[in-house]
Amino acid sequence: MRYKCVVLYDGSRYAGWQKQSDDLTVQKTIEKAISRIVNHEVSIVASGRTDARVHALGQVFHFDTEKKINNFKKAINSQLPPDIHIKSIEQVAEDFHSRFDAKYKHYEYFINNGEYNPCIANYSCHIKDKLDIELIRQAGRLFVGTLDFTSFNATKLTENENQVRTIYKIGIRQKEDLVYISFIGDGFLRYMVRMLTQTLIEVGLGKITVSDVKEMLDKKDKTACSYNAEAQGLFLVEVGYQEYQENMNQAVFKFLEFETEQ
């Protein structure tokens, strides 16, 4: 039997999602918890990896077991630390694949553009100089569509020569000193969201122009962009398994009452 799980986690103390030999990772922690419950070794397959200190509000993974467990969700959560929580679990078709069946992903990046606040330091990037939100919006429009993002990711061309991806929407929210950038697309290469985010930040700080960003994009060159936003401000919000439609995706931070600005 195959099970699909949606999991939330605070990535602050983890060396990322992917299992590593010695480091504490989210994948390793969840696999140990499920293996204890079903009494055999379990391997879980995620929709994609997240880096060290990156968080998730809607990561998806699947695993296989022939064991039937009453109240599986409660059982797994009882074995997990408080910074990881299974939001839902359901039995799915044997050929379901959390990575290959995904149609879109939604990431969000949280910026504190005011006074430093230690209470949100693990979940945001602090930028003290004021950002020009309108300039960020202008630059963000350059990244919407089906484009070659060779300049804005760290995946080597020898590893994946196809670096064309579709970004459906980039949204900017702001409330007082809190700025929130969202990316919805059919897939993202390594560090792609963080590199795009820091590029937008540089525009907002007046360090580069919108024209500079267009030139970087057109170069399709791994040396064109050296920017990479801090990891702790990034959240994987949702993985969708139906074709993306703008009106079906209204996810926002529940603990921050952002007001959407068009």
Asked if residue 127 and residue 87 are part of one domain, the reply reads no
Q: What is the pTM (predicted TM-score) of this model?
A: 0.92
pLDDT digits (tens, 9 = 90+) for 198-210: 999 999 999 999 9
CA 95 to chain centroid: 25
Is the predicted pLDDT of residue 25 greater than 90, yes or no? yes
Burial class (CB in 10 A: 0-12, 13-18, 19+), 146: exposed
Asked if residue 123 and residue 74 are part of one domain, the reply reads no
Q: Which helix (H) or strand (E) holds 96?
A: none
Q: If you search the block for the tokens 């074995």, which residue do you land on? A: 79
Structure tokens at 17: 């999602």
CA nearest neighbour of 206 among 255, 133, 154: 133
* pLDDT-derived band at 253, boundaries 50, 70, 90: very low
| Residue that terminates a domain, selected from 38, 60, 92 | 92
Is the predicted pLDDT of residue 252 greater than 90, yes or no? no
Domain around 137: 104-248
- List Cβ neighbours of 197 (8 Å cut-off, separation of 6 or more): 109, 181, 183, 229, 233, 234
Q: Which residue has the higher pLDDT, 260 or 23?
A: 23
Asked if residue 126 and residue 19 are part of one domain, the reply reads no
Asked if residue 242 and residue 189 are part of one domain, the reply reads yes
Is the predicted pLDDT of residue 258 greater than 80, yes or no? no
CA nearest neighbour of 225 among 236, 235, 215: 215
- Domain membership of residue 98 (yes or no) is no
Query: How high is the pLDDT of residue 22?
Result: 87
Asked if residue 80 and residue 33 are part of one domain, the reply reads yes
Q: Cβ distance 87 to 80 under 8 Å?
A: no
Asked if residue 173 and residue 205 are part of one domain, the reply reads yes
| Residue that terminates a domain, selected from 66, 92, 118 | 92
Rg over alpha carbons for the chain, rounded to the nearest Å, is 19
* pLDDT-derived band at 254, boundaries 50, 70, 90: very low
Q: Cβ distance 47 to 102 under 8 Å?
A: yes
Which residue among the candidates 22, 51, 148, 186 is catalytic per the annotation? 51
Asked if residue 156 and residue 76 are part of one domain, the reply reads no
- Domain membership of residue 115 (yes or no) is yes
Query: Per-residue pLDDT averaged across 236-258, rounded?
Result: 68
Q: What is the DSSP letter of 130?
A: P
- Domain membership of residue 232 (yes or no) is yes
Q: Cβ distance 88 to 71 under 8 Å?
A: no
pLDDT digits (tens, 9 = 90+) for 150-196: 999 999 999 999 999 999 999 999 999 999 999 999 999 999 999 99
Structurally, how many domains does the chain consist of? 2
pLDDT digits (tens, 9 = 90+) for 38-95: 999 999 999 999 999 999 999 999 999 998 888 999 999 999 999 999 999 999 999 9
Query: How high is the pLDDT of residue 69?
Result: 87
- Domain membership of residue 253 (yes or no) is no
Measured distance CA(209)–CA(73) in Å, rounded: 49
Residue 220's CATH number: 3.30.70.660
Asked if residue 213 and residue 127 are part of one domain, the reply reads yes
Asked if residue 152 and residue 226 are part of one domain, the reply reads yes
Q: Percent of the chain having pLDDT more than 90?
A: 89
DSSP3 helix / strand / coil % (the chain, rounded to 5) = 25, 25, 45
Residue 27's CATH number: 3.30.70.580
pLDDT digits (tens, 9 = 90+) for 216-231: 999 999 999 999 999 9
Q: Cβ distance 62 to 97 under 8 Å?
A: yes
For residue 83, indicate whether it is catalytic.
no
Query: How high is the pLDDT of residue 247?
Result: 54
Query: Per-residue pLDDT averaged across 121-148, rounded?
Result: 97
Question: What are the phi and psi torsion angles at 22 (to 5°)?
Answer: -110, -25
Query: HSE of 256 in the Cβ direction (CA atoms, 13 Å)?
Result: 23
Asked if residue 114 and residue 72 are part of one domain, the reply reads no
| Residue that terminates a domain, selected from 92, 115, 131 | 92
Asked if residue 155 and residue 72 are part of one domain, the reply reads no
Mean pLDDT of the chain: 93
Is the predicted pLDDT of residue 113 greater than 90, yes or no? yes
Is the predicted pLDDT of residue 259 greater than 50, yes or no? no
- Domain membership of residue 184 (yes or no) is yes
